[in-house]
Each structure stands twice: as C-alpha cells, then as structure tokens.
Structure 1
Amino acid sequence: MGRKQLLVGTAILAGANILTKCMGFFYRIFMSNYIGAEGMGLYQLILPLYTLAWSITAGGFTVTVSRLTAREHARGENGSIGRIVKQSASLCLLLSILLSCVLFWGADWIALHVLQESRTALSLRLLAFAIPFMSVGSCLRGFFQGLQQMTVPAFSQILEQLLRIGSIYLLAGIFVPRGLEYACFAAVCGIVLGEAGAFCYTFFHYLHKKRRWKFIRKPAISSGACFSLILSMAIPLSAIRITGSLLSTLENILIPQRLALYGSSSQEALASYGELTGMVMPLLMLPSAFLMAFSVSLVPEISEACAVSQNNRIRRTVSASLLLTSILGAGSACLFAVFPREICYVVYGRSNLGQLLFPLAFLCPLLYGQTTINGLLNGLGEHFFLFWSHILSSLITIAFIWFAMPYWGLSAFCAGWFCSLLAVTILSLRKLKKRTGVSPSLFDCFGRPILAGIAAALIIRLIIQTSTPSPLLFCGTLLGMGILYLVFLGALGCLNEDTLQLLKRKRT
C-alpha cells in the first residue's frame, strides 16, 4: 500500500469522523437543552463503563485484526485472513455475551456501589444489549482497516450516529418528562440502536467481500496456529486497553465525588462534571477527528512497512505524521485560547463555559500529539510501552484529582491532565527516536506553528472584537483564521516544498 492509499484512506475516515463529530455536537446540544448539565453528568457516568466494555471485548482484537490483515496481505498470504477474522469475531462474541450478562444482572450493585448513583441502573441494563453488537462490529471494522478500505468503517460510523440522533429525537419527548433517570435511558437507547445498525451494515459488507474474494475461504494457517497468533497479540493489547479504561473510569467516578469536597453540592458537582466531560471536552477534541482517522490508518501502514523492512518509508511516515499533528494542535490551541467564550456561546448558547475551555486549550498540542504517537507506536508493536505509559498518565491525573481537587476544584484536573500528557509525550518521543531515528525539532514542530497560530488568531480577534457572536460570524472566523494560519505557516517555512513532497511521496 502506498502513501497515496494511506492518505486516501485517512481522508475517508477523517471526513466520516468530522461529519459524525458534527452530528454528535447536534446530539449533545439537543441533549443538554433537554436534560441540562446534571443530566449530562448522569449520562457521562455511564459512558466510561461502555468504553471499558469495549476495551475488554474488542479493544485488543480490533487492532489485532487490522495489523494481521495488513501483514498477511503484504506477504501475499491472503488465505489466512478469513480464519483470523472468524476466530477473532468468535472470541469477541463470547466475551461480550459474558460481560453483558454481568452488566445486566449486576446493574443495581454497579450503580449503587461503583457509580454511587442509583439512577443509572436502568440505563446500565439497557446498555448490556449493545455490547455484542459493538464488540463484533469493531472486530469486523478492523478487517477493512487492515486492507485500507476505509469506506465501510466510515459509513458505519455515520450510520451509527444517525441512529443515535434519530432515536433521541423521537424518544426525548416520551422519556425526558419522566425525570433524569428516564432521560438517560432514552440516550442509551440511541447507543443500542446505533451499535446494532452499524454492526448489520459492517457484517453485510464483510459477507459481500467474502463471497467475492475466494481466497478468504482457503485459510493457509492452521486453527491452532491462528488462535495462538491472535491471542499473543490481542492479550497485551487488551491489557493496555482494559487498564487504561479502568483508570479512566476511576477518574470519571472520582471527579464528581472530589468536587463535592471542594464545596459543591452533589447536584452542582454532577452538573460541573457534565459540563466538563459532556460539553467542553468533546468540543476540545473536535479538531482531532482527522488525527483519529490518521492514527487508525497508521497502524496497518507502519505494520506493513515493518513486515517488509522498509525503514525509509517508516521514517517518512513518522516525520510527516508528527508535523501534521503539530500544525493542527497548535492552530486549535490558539483558536480555543483566543475565542473560548465566543465558541461556547455559538455552540451551546453558554459563554460561561469558556472559562473551562480556556485553560484546556493549551493542552491541544500534547493531546493531539498523543493520538498520532499512539498510532505510530501501535504500528511498531510497542504495546508494552503504551501499556506502562498509559498507567503513568492515569496515575498522575488521579493523584491530582484525589489530592488537589478538594482544594482547587476543576483547576486541579486541568493541571493534572497537563502534567500527565507532558510526561507521556516526552517518553513517547524518546521511544520513537530509539525505534525510528526520527528526532523532531521542537521549534519546527511546535514553535513555528504556535507563532503562526497566535498571529492569525490575534488578527482575527482584533477584526471581530466589536461584533456580536453568531453562527455566521463563527464560520467566518474559522475560515479567516484558517486562511491566515496557512499563510503564516508558509511564511515561517512550515509548508515549504520539501514538507509538501514529504506528504505526497509514495513508498519506495
């Protein structure tokens, strides 16, 4: 697979991610208007458990299928692909059924003793039905990602989001008047319907590919060898995902509890938690939709290059990825830091959320950088390094939440998140340098893009400072700042001919 195919696949996934994230904003804005910040906090308490369920049942298998599919295809051993997918999907299904039973029958205990919010029990029971669809569907998407055929994963994401939005739109009027418990139940209905629809779409296309590709019916690897190969890769990957999800879940459970010690009532703490995790953080991550797609595409790209020992191709991919990430991260940081109140007013109708968005804006370069670096290290097979780095990151954040949040409130969380991202980014860049020989210049990767972003944002800030925030003005601001940012990037040498050729080159 060439550089062009990587970029095409990334563009498809990026377009889908951007579209689904925009749709997700409509979904969250609609929900926040109906159920308020406290209702969003209740809903956000459930989502970490859903992420944990994905980590246990599919997290390791999705990347495993993607990497093994890319590797076997690069070696010309296509007969192994079908057996890899079947065995992986079967394992995912078994794990998901077991976990669904635990979640369904233990919903009351989990709600009361783990989440410490009894109103989530009904939603947890319903959420159990989504896990098998989510697990097997994610595994099948790994097959298409491994072949860099991103259309199916992209459209499955869009379909899932459409079903979520449609369901909450239809069910909100029925369930929301009955209280926050049932409003949260309506939102989880959207999750179940979205996962079921996305699975059916992906499974249909997999069967279609299977009928067309006769080699999939002729496995060239024995069942025992295939099973061992899958487990040898999926177990460490799953351990990484599960550990990270457990620690992330702990973070999300602790935040409203420690905020209550800061002096807030339980309702105020839950509302603040909902504003932070359900409204501000998704807004902060919106520009990274392209990088998430890029990270997914990097896994098979790097895996294939490693399989055929194309070291120059690996170095070019790493360099181009880090440069692209730094440009997007610096530009986003400047945008959120200079226009926090305006952005929150246009998106949510609440300019006061800008107080939360402003300090988090400075995390964008580090936050987006981790998305890309994780994709690169996954492709290089550095699973154990990622495992320990994720543990370190979460432990730093949890320490700030536990010890500092009762005294400093949400500022403690922001400080802990920054320290954890900084520590892990430094360690990850050192690991990348050791494996690939690529050592990015801090001034080239961060200094120049930040200077360009600050200049573009301040100029636009001066132009619109006397205007009233509106959606039209917001779109014009984004367009104007984007154009100026590209101009300044070019003037500072970030987008010179060598850089552009680096992104366009095909493998050698």
Structure 2
Amino acid sequence: MVNRFLQGTLILTIAGFVVKAIGSINWILLSRVLGGEGIGIYQMAFPIYLLSLQLSSAGIPIAISILTAEKIARFDYKGAQKVFKLSFYLLFATGLFFSILMWFGSDWLISSGYIIDDRAYLALLALSPAIFFVTLISCYRGYLQGWQLMTPTAVSQIIEQLLRVVVMLGAAYLLLPYGLGAAAGGASLGAGIGAFGALVVLIYYYYKLPKSPDDAHKQPDGPGESSGSIVKRLIKLAIPISLASLMLPLVANLDLFIVPRRLEVAGFSTSQATELFGYLTGMAVPLINLATIITAALATSIVPAISNANAIDDKKGVYYRTAGAMRITFMSTVPFTLMLYVLAEPVVSIIYNAPRAAEATQITAIAIFFLGMHQVTTGVLQGLGKPTIPVVNMGVAAICKVILNWNLTAISWLGISGAAYATVADIGVAALLNLIWIKKYTGYFLDFSLLWKNIVSAIIMGVAMFFLYAPLETIMHQFFAMAFTALIGGIIYVVVMVLLKGLNRHDGERMPVIGKFFRGKEK
C-alpha cells in the first residue's frame, strides 16, 4: 500500500510547480500591462495584506492539522469535528476583524504617510476582502490535512491561482485607461476572487468527508476533550508556529540593514552594494526556495503523519516516517545542490539576464540541502507537538548569521559572497539543531549509509555536467544546452544511485502513481 504521506507529498509538489509556473507567467504579463510604476503601486499595498494575513491566522492552520490528526488516530471523530468548529469560529472572527480593519484603515495608511502614494488606496480596498476568505481557507486546509488529505489543498491552490491570474490581468487591462491606481486596484481584486474560488473547492471536499468512517464504531478512551482545552492547545501550538513564520521576514530585514552597509565598508559604492544585494536576495535566494518545492510539500504532509503516530505512542511509526521523509529529502536536495552549483551562470543568465549573480548563486546552492532538511525536521518537530524548538533554533541560527554577515561581508575579497556564506550557515545551523532534538525524541539522526551514496552520485553527476555543458553551448541555444545537460545529469545520478544500491525496487513500490508498475514485477 502506498504510504499516504508520500502520496500527499507528490500531490502538493505537483501543485506547487503548477502554481509557481502560473504565477511566474502572470507576473511577467502583469508587469507588461502595469509597467514598473504600476507594479510599484501594487507592491505598496501587498505587504500590508500579507502582514494582515499573518496576524489573522497566526499559525493556527498547522495547529488544526496536528490536533485533527491526533483525534483521528484515536478514532475520536467527534473530537476532530470539534477542533474544526472551534477553529472555524476563531478564524472567522479574526479574518473578519482584519478585513474590516484594512478596509477602514486604508484611508489612514495613506493620510498618515505610511504609504506615500495615494494611488495605492484602491489596491488596499480591493485586497481587504481577500483577508477574510484566505483566513477561512487556512482553516479548511488545516483540517483536511489533519485527515492526511492533500488533494483538496492542491486543487484549491491551482483553482485559486488560475482565478487570481485571470482577474488580475483582465481587470488591470480593462481599468488601465482610468489610471494606474485603478489598474493596480483591479489587479488586486484577483486575490479575493481567487480565494473565494478556493474556499468553494475546500467546502466541497469538506462535505465529501465520510460522515461515518469505517472504523467509527471504535471509541476513544475517556470523555471527550473540553472546548476550553482545545482552544488552549490550539493557541499553545499556534504561537510558536506563528513566531517561526515571523522569523523569516525578521531575518530578511536584518539582511537589509546589515549587508548593504557592510558592502560599503568593503569598498563598494552605494549603487554597487544595492546591485550585489539584489543578486543575493532577489535572485539567488528565490532559486533556492524554488529548488525545495518537494521538501516544502513533504514538510506539510509529514506534520499530520507524525502527529497521528505520536498520538497513539507508535514510536516505530514516528521513527520510520521520519527516516522515510529524510530519505526523500536527500534524494531531492543533494542532486539539485550540485545541479545549480554547476549550472549557476546559465540559470541566472536565462532567468534574470544577470550572469554576475552566478557567484552568489553557486555559494547559496549549498543551502538547498540544508533548507530541505530544515523544512522537514521542522515539520517532524511540529508533528511531535514541539513547535517551540524550531523557533529557538532559528533564533540561534539568526544570531550566527548576523555575526557572519557583519564580519564576512565587510571583507573586500569576499563582499556579497560573505553574505551568501552567512545565509548557508544560517540555514545549516538551524537544520543541525533541529536534527539534534529529533535524535532526542525519535532516535533518528542521519542515515550516513544512504547520504554518502547520494553525495557520490551527485558529484559524479556534477562532474559530467561540467564537462558536457561547455561543448553543448557552442552548438545550441543556451537554454537547450542547459536543459539537456540537466536531463543527462539527472539520468546519470539515478543510474549511479541504482549501482550503489541507494535506489531499489522498494523505493519504486512506495512511489505514488508509478508504484504499481514496480509491484507488478514481483512474480
């Protein structure tokens, strides 16, 4: 039988690629419609919207997923429904509050000078309803993920993005004759309409859940948990999860404050420092995030899987699910690390038309492996009901990053490379600290017998790609040379992994969709 959390990971990964592809195309087209100035107006309203979303949901969706999975593991289906209803009431109230606050506070944001361009007013108004819908979406997604159902999340994400893009582009184009402010406001309508469409999809899946599961005759031990206890546990779980989400923008703001200034100390002019900072934060780091779509999906699906096993004190289940998740992490991050390192220059040239961003990208490519581990280990710890630990670890790692940023970036021969190394260290320290705690609670640390096979396979792949790309570039377009090199590299990696017995039939059997072909060969 296919492992449910692996199937969920595949579903979320595919959805992630589709959503990002649609979003990238949309951003290119919207930029052509609105131009730089129009995009600037839109971007003035969007951070307020994102902050409001963060405050309205505040980590509760993952907490819903954890508690729901725990109730289901104990056959307490009434308790799971109770978790959903209480969460729904809570998020309905917070979503509505922040929606109304943004609607009526838009005028103050403009008049107070917090937002300097009054043309962003319509965009603020247009984004206000989206806060309410997206907050409700997070409630349904958290609950359905608690059932280890990832298809609703995936389908709703794609529907949301499609509707958002159609409305954004259509409204921006139609309203452009009325001015850039109106066009930016029209584009902002896409967020609310897309979210409403996603909410409808999730409500459909919610009502499709079986009213009486096959094992509903089994009853949980003892009386059901009180509403007050559930709300208390939701908040206790949600606060550290929310703090973890806030750590990312906090670290980004520390980078903004430190890196450009230290680059000037290293001897770069203000314009050069700004350009180099853009190479790292605006080009290299997004590529790292893109390369970890698989582990991001895995981190989402592992939370309820671990919580489910932990709730019934299934220590072997927790261990094997953790080990299985880390196995996928190795295979999805180690080869991508080497791929991006070798192909950094063609990648940044094709995507950004900025070959000078290659050096920062090569260094940050090392962070792919660490970021994947950090995402998954954070999911495991959250599933174990230990969400505070990743927050503390991120705080320790952030201190290390600040120290390294301050010292390395100011060295003239390092410059932005010093900041790139600091980024790698930041993620690496956080991942290592998570692993230490996982060792304590699950007994799992790192499967070095598998990790070395991944590393050797990736190195052989990287060397082959290095010598293959240069001659290909002379006979075909850079994009096709890069794509062909990556394809051949991927094949080499898989072949070497099979030869080293890092991949076997059992791995194929566990894969969703294609697993049946491997199982069919047994007789």
- Correspondent of 1:482 among 484, 490, 496: 490
Q: Which secondary structure does the structure 1 equivalent of 2:337 belong to?
A: helix
Letter matched to residue 371 of structure 1: Q
Give the superposition deviation at 1:131. 1.2
Give the superposition deviation at 1:376. 0.9
- State whether residues 45 and 253 of structure 1, in contact with CA within 8 Å, keep that contact through their aligned partners in structure 2: no
Deviates more, 1:415-424 or 1:246-255: 246-255
Deviates more, 1:403-412 or 1:245-254: 403-412
Corresponding residue for 1:495? 503
Specify whether residues 194 and 393 from structure 1 end up closer, same or farther in structure 2 by C-alpha distance, changes over 3 A only: farther
Report the Cα distance in structure 1 between the residues aligned to 2:275 and 2:170, rounded to whole angstroms. Answer: 25
Matched, 1:427 2:433: yes
Matched, 1:303 2:307: yes
Give the superposition deviation at 1:55. 3.5
Within 5 Å, give how 1:346-495 maps onto structure 2.
Answer: 346-397=350-401, 410-411=416-417, 413-442=419-448, 444-445=450-451, 447-466=452-471, 467=473, 468-495=476-503
Radius of gyration: which is bigger? 2
Report the Cα distance in structure 2 between the residues aligned to 1:154 and 1:442, rounded to whole angstroms. Answer: 33
Corresponding residue for 2:196? 196
Give the superposition deviation at 1:144. 1.4
Corresponding residue for 1:240? 240
Deviates more, 1:493-502 or 1:84-93: 493-502
Aligned length: 501
- State whether residues 52 and 249 of structure 1, in contact with CA within 8 Å, keep that contact through their aligned partners in structure 2: no
Report the Cα distance in structure 2 between the residues aligned to 1:359 and 1:441, rounded to whole angstroms. Answer: 25
Deviates more, 1:465-474 or 1:364-373: 465-474
Q: Which secondary structure does the structure 2 equivalent of 1:465 belong to?
A: helix
Report the Cα distance in structure 2 between the residues aligned to 1:179 and 1:252, rounded to whole angstroms. Answer: 33
Corresponding residue for 1:130? 130
Aligned-CA RMSD value: 4.1
Give the superposition deviation at 1:398. 5.2
Q: Which secondary structure does the structure 2 equivalent of 1:374 belong to?
A: helix
- State whether residues 68 and 143 of structure 2, in contact with CA within 8 Å, keep that contact through their aligned partners in structure 1: yes
Query: Which of the pair has the greater relative contact order for Cα pairs under 8 Å at 6+ separation?
Result: 1
- State whether residues 120 and 185 of structure 2, in contact with CA within 8 Å, keep that contact through their aligned partners in structure 1: no
Corresponding residue for 2:80? 81
Deviations 1:145-167 (A, max 9, x none): 11122221110011111123223
Corresponding residue for 1:289? 293
Give the superposition deviation at 1:434. 0.6
Matched, 1:17 2:20: no
- State whether residues 45 and 115 of structure 1, in contact with CA within 8 Å, keep that contact through their aligned partners in structure 2: no
| TM-score, length of structure 1 as denominator length | 0.83
- State whether residues 119 and 180 of structure 2, in contact with CA within 8 Å, keep that contact through their aligned partners in structure 1: no
Give the superposition deviation at 1:321. 1.2
Report the Cα distance in structure 2 between the residues aligned to 1:170 and 1:136, rounded to whole angstroms. Answer: 26
- Correspondent of 1:332 among 336, 347, 358: 336
Give the superposition deviation at 1:412. 5.1
- State whether residues 360 and 420 of structure 2, in contact with CA within 8 Å, keep that contact through their aligned partners in structure 1: no
- State whether residues 409 and 418 of structure 2, in contact with CA within 8 Å, keep that contact through their aligned partners in structure 1: yes
Report the Cα distance in structure 1 between the residues aligned to 2:117 and 2:223, rounded to whole angstroms. Answer: 45
Letter matched to residue 424 of structure 1: A
Corresponding residue for 2:140? 140
Letter matched to residue 149 of structure 2: Q
Q: Which secondary structure does the structure 2 equivalent of 1:382 belong to?
A: coil
Give the superposition deviation at 1:428. 0.7
Deviates more, 1:21-30 or 1:313-322: 21-30
Report the Cα distance in structure 2 between the residues aligned to 1:370 and 1:96, rounded to whole angstroms. Answer: 30
Give the superposition deviation at 1:60. 2.7
Letter matched to residue 165 of structure 1: V
Letter matched to residue 362 of structure 1: I
Give the superposition deviation at 1:483. 0.9
